[in-house]
Amino acid sequence: MRHKHYDFLVIGSGLAGLAFALKVAQQGRVLVLSKTSLEISNTEMAQGGIAAVMSQDDSLEKHAQDTLTAGAGLCFEPAVRHVVEQAPHRIQDLIEWGVVFDHDPDQKISLAREGGHSARRILHVEDQTGLEIHRQVLKRARENPNITFRENHFAIDLISMKKMRPHYFGRDMCVGAYVIDKNTQEVYSQTADFTILACGGAGKVYLYTSNWSGATGDGIAMAHRLGARIANLEFMQFHPTCLYHPESRNFLITEAMRGEGGELVNDRGEAFMRKYHPLGSLAPRDIVARSIDAEMKKSGADCVYLDMSAKSADFIRSRFPQIYKRCLELGIDITARPIPVVPAAHYLCGGVMTDLNGRSDIDRLFVVGETACTGLHGANRLASNSLLECLVFSHDAARWIGENREGLDRELGDLRLSELDIAKWQPKHPGGKGAKGRNFAQNNDENADELILVTHMWEEIRRLMWAYVGIVRTNRRLERAQHRLANILSELDEYYSSFKTHSDIVELRNIAVVAELTVRCALMRKESRGIHYNLDYPKTLIGRAEDSII
């Protein structure tokens, strides 16, 4: 059953993957792979909400302009308008799937405001919007008989038609993936008519992040190895307010708190954001993160603070119950004292390049969610556009496949993807120097020793990226990072070729690849724009902005 061919192979079980699965389930059998538990993803960590024009006081044009402004001139405007116009319809999908958004006393949907938005348009479920959306969409997907799930199954690499059949003369296509069962560390091939990367972002490439532990850029690394174009990885958005506490290093303090009157103050209790931007604490995220970084460097302080004293204790407890509860568990009563916060790697605006239907450069390979670079976010994501992006492009990818599948299948002629003879997985890295003949899985002591080294290398990459490719960059720092990453990749190349495939080693390889691609993208950009700020090129170039494409 494990090797059974599916119509759709969805790699990732966050909102993008689940929404796509629900949309195509009527077209055929769907297999969804989750690298850990189905309940764990970045989606369920999204606190603030989802943006859509739902009020007469707002307009599609305002939402589009706010997105374009936040994107600092790099957004692909057709993508922006495409997403904004669909937003109310995709909200209706969520409601039909069982999501109940918060309502005002007059029974209208409650709309919050966040940084960069000119109107209230953020639908939410208290301060756990992503958690509730994921819970309801997963429940609906589990009820669908055409959707199969495999937990703890991790895609290693995509399967190329040209590698399977060297004499195939068409454009290369993806016919599935090699997958490792994390319970047994066994590798098997999984074929499908269409493969969808919905693997999320790459926050774990950095030392401090709001992301879950599995956000290791797997989809980007796999697509790159297959030959798909990657763009704009220099634009890793640093969320301005992650809780600063030794026992909770990735707990996000939602931007909605600033939307409800929260004020950023320094270690002397002084509100400082008006010095940097007229919108103060509601400025776009890139500006807020850099401003916090500047204040911390000036004072030498380890953090700044988010002051909610303008709101009553009852309001804070009812509007932000999860944040209140979590902070209280750590000894911080946010109704009585400011919250210590620091910026942390949060959301990747670049990724695998796609069109407006989620199609990559590789036939039959679609990319949705944070793994994709659709042009929506440009150089900086507008708050609460991320969940919306997942829904819109999953919907459009499913629709496009439905409308074009017959023609695509005709192009295959007598070729049947379900009958392909897939080569057995070869763990040797394509650029490797050859295996040393060791199989560390056969020796438990050696296995444990080598996996400790994996952890050390992981930490080295993350610290390197935080120090040299962080909120503020210089050419010298980027070049140092590039040099060290080249050495790490060389070590990994031999390491990966020398031992039996293990999920931890695969993740390490992926973050190293994404880190190196990020530095290359950053060095390509001879300006500061949006999230990317380089002291050697402090000005933004005038004229049409260009993507950094690899």
Residue 335 sits in a domain whose CATH number is: 3.90.700.10
CB atoms within 10 A of CB 137: 26
Q: Is the pLDDT confidence value at 443 over 60?
A: no
Query: Tokens 């590789």 correspond to what residue?
Result: 362
Closest to 293 measured CA to CA, from 303, 280, 282: 303
Q: Contact 5/191 with Cβ under 8 angstroms?
A: yes
Average pLDDT over residues 407-432: 78
Q: In this predicted structure, which of 27-31, 46-50, 118-122, 269-273 has the lowest mean pLDDT?
A: 46-50
Q: Which residues pair with 103 in a beta bridge?
A: 109
Q: How many domains does the chain have?
A: 1
Q: What order do you get walking across the sheet with 263-265 strand by strand?
A: 236-243, 339-348, 304-307, 263-265
Q: pLDDT category, 287, cuts 50, 70, 90? A: confident
Average pLDDT over residues 44-67: 93
- At position 274, the amino acid (one-letter code) is R
Q: Contact 306/258 with Cβ under 8 angstroms?
A: yes
Burial 3-17, CB ≥16 within 10 A → b, else e: eebbbbbbbbbbbbb
Q: pLDDT category, 74, cuts 50, 70, 90? A: very high
Domain span at 253: 240-346
Average pLDDT over residues 230-237: 97
Structure tokens, 318: 């009812």
Q: Is the pLDDT confidence value at 266 over 70?
A: yes
The whole-angstrom separation of Cα 49 and Cα 486 is 39
Average pLDDT over residues 253-276: 92
Q: Is 454 helix (H, G, I), strand (E, B) or coil?
A: helix
Supply the pLDDT for residue 179: 96
Q: pLDDT category, 48, cuts 50, 70, 90? A: confident
Q: Is the pLDDT confidence value at 508 over 80?
A: yes
Average pLDDT over residues 165-194: 90
Supply the pLDDT for residue 135: 96
Supply the pLDDT for residue 437: 38
Supply the pLDDT for residue 544: 76
Q: Is the pLDDT confidence value at 432 over 60?
A: no
Supply the pLDDT for residue 28: 97
Supply the pLDDT for residue 424: 86
Q: Is 231 helix (H, G, I), strand (E, B) or coil?
A: strand
Average pLDDT, the chain: 91
The whole-angstrom separation of Cα 16 and Cα 67 is 20
Closest to 8 measured CA to CA, from 204, 190, 212: 190
Beta strands 304-307; 230-231: pairing state: unpaired
Supply the pLDDT for residue 116: 85
Average pLDDT over residues 209-236: 95
Residues acting as catalytic residues: 285
Average pLDDT over residues 63-69: 96
Supply the pLDDT for residue 165: 81
Q: Is 347 helix (H, G, I), strand (E, B) or coil?
A: strand
308, part of any domain = yes
Q: Is the pLDDT confidence value at 517 over 90?
A: yes
Supply the pLDDT for residue 435: 38
Q: Is the pLDDT confidence value at 375 over 80?
A: yes
The whole-angstrom separation of Cα 550 and Cα 548 is 7
533, part of any domain = no
Contacts of 532 (CB under 8 A, 6+ apart): 234, 235, 379, 473, 522, 525
246, part of any domain = yes
Query: CA angle at residue 365 from 515 to 8, to 5 degrees?
Result: 120
Average pLDDT over residues 183-206: 95
Q: Is the pLDDT confidence value at 252 over 80?
A: yes
Supply the pLDDT for residue 449: 65
260, part of any domain = yes
Say what the pTM is.
0.90
Average pLDDT over residues 268-272: 94
259, part of any domain = yes
278, part of any domain = yes
Average pLDDT over residues 46-60: 92
Q: pLDDT category, 386, cuts 50, 70, 90? A: very high
Supply the pLDDT for residue 75: 97
Give me the percent of the chain exceeding a pLDDT of 70.
94
CB atoms within 10 A of CB 404: 12
In this structure, the chain runs to a length of 550
90, part of any domain = no
465, part of any domain = no
Beta strands 230-231; 186-197: pairing state: unpaired
Q: Is the pLDDT confidence value at 473 over 90?
A: yes
